[in-house]
Structure 1
Amino acid sequence: MVKDVRQEVIAIIAEQAVLEPSDVSLEQSLEDLGIDSLGLVEAIFSIEEAFDIQVPFNANDPDASGFDISSVAAIIGAVEGLIEAQKA
């Protein structure tokens, strides 16, 4: 069964932000949603578990990790890219 990546990532982010998934928009950043660095790390772990992927994320240097966390849409795109790369 293929999961809907967008819905699943939004659900994970919403859980970290203690919001309903319907309250999360693609344009929002994690900061907009009130997710701190610990919440980000927990979200990354949840994403890795949900999609059985390895996210190249360095919490000490997020910009150098190559995993775009600038917005919800960017995270979804990055996860989709990792899923595709894993299939190859």
Structure 2
Amino acid sequence: MSKTVEEQVIAIIAEQALMEPQDVSPEATLEDLGIDSLGLVEAVFAIEETFDVSVPFNANEPAESEFDITNVRSMVRAVEQLVAQKADTGT
């Protein structure tokens, strides 16, 4: 059985936080999880590789990015949108 987008994103975030996926709360912020800016960039790269998408992320100004990093749930939703857009365009 394949993992859902949510399960995969949470696994990526958990890896960066050095936590088990079940310990990652959807409401948690990256700061709550102890993920610094380098960890965030590594998570974005892992998301791009895992889902074969391009994340519209500005590492220099993450708050100004189109990729919502407010909390785990918002990151999951953003990735789900990217995956859906990719499916719609067939690329």
Q: Quick check: TM above 0.5?
A: yes
CA deviation after TM superposition for structure 1 residue 64, in Å: 1.9
Residues 32-81 of structure 1: per-residue CA shift (max 9 Å, x gap): 00000000000000000000000000101112221000000000000000
Match for residue 25 of structure 1? 25
CA deviation after TM superposition for structure 1 residue 16, in Å: 0.2
What does 1:41-56 correspond to in 2, within 5 Å? Answer: 41-56=41-56
Match for residue 79 of structure 1? 79
CA deviation after TM superposition for structure 1 residue 3, in Å: 4.2
After superposing on structure 2, the runs of 4+ consecutive aligned residues of structure 1 that deviate more than 4 Å are none
Give the count of matched residue pairs.
88
- State the SS of the aligned residue for 2:34: coil
CA deviation after TM superposition for structure 1 residue 27, in Å: 0.3
C-alpha RMSD of matched pairs (Å): 1.3
TM-score by length of 1: 0.95
